[in-house]
Amino acid sequence: MKIGYIFPGQGTQTVGMGKDIYEKYDEAREIYSRVDNVLGENIEDITYNLSQEELNQTKNTQIAIYTMSLAILEILNKARIKAEAAAGLSLGEYTALTCANSISIEDGAKIVRTRGRLMQDLAPEGDWAMAAIIGMEDDKVEEVCSKVEKGFVKAVNYNCPGQVVVSGEKEAVLRAMEIAKEMGARKAIELKTSGPFHTEKLKEASNELRKELEKISFNKCEISVIKNLDATAYTDEDDMVDILANHVINPVKFRKSIETMLEMGIDTFVEVGPGKTLSGFVKKVCKEKEVEANILNIENVETLENAMQSLK
């Protein structure tokens, strides 16, 4: 069994996510305590007590998902369950780098909190949206974006066969959704996000994030971590600051990242964090590639304990 961890990004958050794990496991509470201490904030309050609308704010979403995923990861580590590779969707790449001990939990918490605030506060003024186009191949979604007559919209998340996310001005995104349906897309779904993520519109946020990343110590990855930028594994020669600063203004190549993990021999994928979104992406990639893989997700006590039984 070769295990690969996959870590979710924004859009998977729900109020109260992971609370049963927090209440049952000392290891989970230790992680929340470490994050609380370094930030001087109460992440439990953000995760369990805010309204869904407040939790959906990027500044809150990112740190809540990051901390929950790390809490689960700590329990897996204590159970001596280890992965050989990791990848994450957007924000999830920071969790993957923390999993690989490239970034400490404390530095990770600080940079994720800052990243969320910058992506929210430094998005240019306007009404922004993201939408998933389902049942349409990558090049067709790019064609859809080119057909939008007015406003800014582009393909940004290449998630899996038949699913690409577009991002941009809300009216342009809504128009892209209409055009996609006219061109044969099965569905087009607006997402729970609040900015033109992974586009050049976040250049100011990228520049400010770069300054914060320069304050962090990066270590050699202890397991393979697959980059969103190009779906290759980080190397010792990589400029981590440059890669992560550019991360927020470039498309996410998640589909190719899963293909890379399959080529590495990963046969067991474990989604660590809220939701089952990434598990669905892996299933579609495996189906297209005609390969079999064991796919698990961990988001509550039941799925955690089932996974630990399967992975021992």
Pair 93, 157: CB distance under 8 Å: no
Residue with tokens 């297209």: 288
* Residue 178 exposure: Cα atoms within 13 Å on the Cβ side: 9
User: Between helices 203-213 and 240-247, what is the axis angle to 10°?
Assistant: 150
CA distance 29 to 44: 9
Rounded to whole angstroms, the Cα distance separating 106 from 63 reads: 12
Show the tokens assigned to 170: 């809300």
Residue 247 known to be catalytic: no
The closest of 119, 122, 123, 115 to 39, measured between CA atoms, is 115
Cβ atoms of residues 27 and 110 within 8 Å: no
Judge whether 33 counts as a catalytic residue. no
Phi, psi angles (nearest 5°) of residue 99 = -55, -40
Residue of 69, 198, 247, 257 marked catalytic:
198
Residue with token string 């039984």:
309
Write out the two tokens for 194: 């609040």
Active site residues: 90, 198
